Every structure is written in C-alpha cells, then in structure tokens.
Chains A and B, each alone.
Chain A
Amino acid sequence: MRAPSPAPLLEARTLTVRFGGLEAVGGLDMAIARDAIHGLIGPNGAGKTTVLNVLTGFIRPTQGQLVFDGEEIGGLGVNRLARRGLARTFQNIRLFGAMTVLESVLVGAHQRFSANALSLVFSSRSAREAERAMIARAYELLDFVGLGAEVADRIATTLSYGHQRRVEIARALIASPKLLLLDEPLAGMNAVEKAEIADLVRHVRAQGIAVLLIEHDMQVVRSLCDHLTVLEYGRKLADGPPEEVLADPAVQAAYLGRAR
C-alpha cells in the first residue's frame, strides 16, 4: 500500500449547495488524496454531479471552503479552475461538433499556447513550435487512450460512443491536470469496454494524476477505487476504503439494497 500523503490534493469543508429551498449538497466534508482513484457514489439524485460541478466551478457553492493543492479555490471561474489543473469529462459526452478529433483534443491544450496575434499571423517560429509540440502530444494521448492516429482527422462526433468517451478523456488529459474528474465514464458500455476504460483510469493514476470518479457499477468501483465517498440526499453517508464502505449496512440499505 502507498504511504498516505500528508496533505490531500483537494479538500472540501462543509460544502453546501442550495437551489432555492432545495438543499442539493449539505455540509459535505471530503478529501481527495494526491494519488487516489476516489469514487463518488450514491443513488440517483444524491448530488454527485452537483459536487463535481461545484469542484469545477460550474456551480457556486452556497457555503463552504474548497482547497486545491494548498490554495483556496472557492469562487474561481470554470476556466481558471481548469488552468489550475482540474480537468473533467461530462456525463453526456460534450465534444465539439464540426471539429476533428485532433482539433478537439487540442482545445484541451488551450492554456499551453501563448502566441500573440501578430506572431500567429506571421507564423513565428515559437508559434509553430508550440503548435507542433501540442499536436505531437495530442497524438501521444490518442495512443494513450487507445485510439489510433487514423481517427485524428475524423469529425469527433461521428465516432462510436466508446471512442467519443476516449476522445473526451484525451481532451481532458492534454493540459496535464492534477485531478481528472470523470462523470460516469462507463455508462452505456459493455463489459469489455468497461474493463478497458478501468485500465485506462489506472494508467492515468500511474502518471501521477488523481482521479475522481462518479460511477454506478459497483464491481468496477470496488476493484478500481482506493477510496469511496457515499452521498445520499446531498449528505455524506460514508467515507473510507471500498471494502469498509460497501460493507456498511447503512450504505447497503441506501444504495445497494435498492439496486438489487
């Protein structure tokens, strides 16, 4: 077993989100370790995606504190958080239409480019080199997520569902994030594809990138995650290593009991 890191990569304290009178997330405390595959599970409507949206800046928390990599990040906008190293995929795949796979992945590398308008118009050496380096990196990542270079010039939204997922992950990885947030990446996949994506997630972690994973498939969660947080009605029900958490009768009653 890995030695636990002293300071977590991301820490949420008493995180609360209210929509009008509805409390979607209530007083959530959560810590994601630097090298974790951290599962966020719970029944439908428990507030998992809301938490992910708060962490990535799409929703402003009503209350609470967020510390990422030692810095307070509450209230920062979506693109700022992305620049600090939080990259995500979406529950319903959101690739850019009318863009090729390569171009879509390169959008994820946006923050790595800095050439100004003049050097772009005159195609300065540094601008060309940045482009070349990022294109090379995009090809590496396509390979890493299990797609061949031959898909690079296809329009991303015309690929199969499973391949689109992989493009989305490559797009999130190209900015070299510290934390990758995956919202149900296995939804709608068959057993073989699930195993492949689970492997991919392990490889991501092996590169030193922590992963927060929202997932419903308990078998995958059990084998893949090294820490679980369980939500029910926006509140934390359990938190800890998978075997412990999944054995908790309260968790079984709330979640697994209903699922079986």
Chain B
Amino acid sequence: MNIIETQNLTKTYGDFAAVSGLNLHVPKGSVYGFLGPNGAGKSTTMKMFLGLTKPSGGTFVIDGKQFPGDRVQILKQVGSFIEASAFYGNLTGEENLEIIRRILGLPKSSAAEALELVGLTPHRKKLARKYSLGMKQRLGLAGALIGRPPVLILDEPTNGLDPVGIHEIRALIRSLPRQFDCTVFVSSHLLSEIELMADSVGILNHGRLLFEGTLDALRFNAVSRGYPTDNLEDMFLAMIDADNRQRGGAR
C-alpha cells in the first residue's frame, strides 16, 4: 500500500518546468530515497507536498488525504524538514519545539522526546541562534520528528553534519519506520547516502522521474541499459548523463 501517491504532479515557473508530470508511489512503512542532482526538482516536489508551493498541475494523496482539499489534515500527519532549518533564533531549542508542540496539540513530553531522539537534550536551554550548523540541522529534524508523525518528509537532512552526525542521523532515519511505524521520504543528491538508508528510490532529473523502485530493481535496470553497475554512484551518474544527452546536452 502506498502512503504517498502523486498523479502527474507538475510545477512550472513561466516556461520552466521544475517538476513535470511526476507519478510517485511511496510504500507505507518504508524509507523512500528521493534522488537527483541539484535543481532536479526534489525540494519543489517536497514543498508541494507541504503546501508551500502551489502545484501547476496534477494532484497527490498523502495517507489517504487528497491535496488541496485536505491540506490541513495532511500537515497534521506530516513531519517535515525542508532545505535549511527554520527556527526562532531568539528562543531556545526547547522553546522552539514547544511552539510546534502547541500548534500540533501534542502532550508536553513530546518536545523532550524529540530532543532526546536527535541528541540535543544537553543543549535544549541554549538559544537556537547560537547553535552550530549541525545543531540547527538536528533541531530541524527534532521539529519534524515531534509527535511521531506517520509521514516524514526530509530534504537533505544530513547537510552540514560532521561524519559522526551523518552516521547518527542516518541510523536514526533507518530505524524510524521500525521504531515509530512511520514512512520516511528523504531526499539527497548523494546515492551513496541514500543507498545506506532507503528501501526504494525515485530518481529525478530536470523535473522528470527517471526511475522508481527498489535498489535491486535499479541495479537490474542499469544492467539492462548497459550502465556501469560496479557501484551505485557510477550507475546514478550514467543514468543522469544519458538523460541529459537525450535532452540535447542540457545539464
């Protein structure tokens, strides 16, 4: 069963199509890696899921709720972290989560739980503007995880983290479906990153979906098309390069 499904989802800015006729199928209880080079349309797609950007065409369903009619219901079900972390710099980490907790109507303990999950408990009383880049990233993740939502939308969540932090957050994301019975939709431009986290992947280039399926299916697809299969990074690059060449050298 798919928890997120899109039907011909499109976003255009004038003549430029950031996302074009996207048909995604995200299985419930999985970690879905959303891959693509910079500017492929990953963040735009995620913004559309959260109602931050209005689709130019098509529609989508999240947890049985249709956009745009059920937008508020969708936002109640989705924990999100989009691009750079967004927070109130004049408030502490704990106070930032308290605001989200009150909006979502969650129990008081949920803010502390979220801080604990991302390892920010010792820094909860520190002002968010004084956090390091990695700590801001963790605060953003805590904001997404608070209340254990059934769907998590994470846009490049390991950006700015040190290797230890990347490993910790990766392990956390990997464990979330099992721990909290949720679905994680996570984007990255690094296949090596997604490979270690995801059950299935969707590869996007210039707003179009090039591939969707499990990692095994991706390897099989690559073999059938004659792409290198020694490592997934090369396979991904070959796939993007072939698509770019097909489009007449556009990069």
Genuine A/B complex: no
Chain B interface (Cβ within 8 Å of chain A)? none
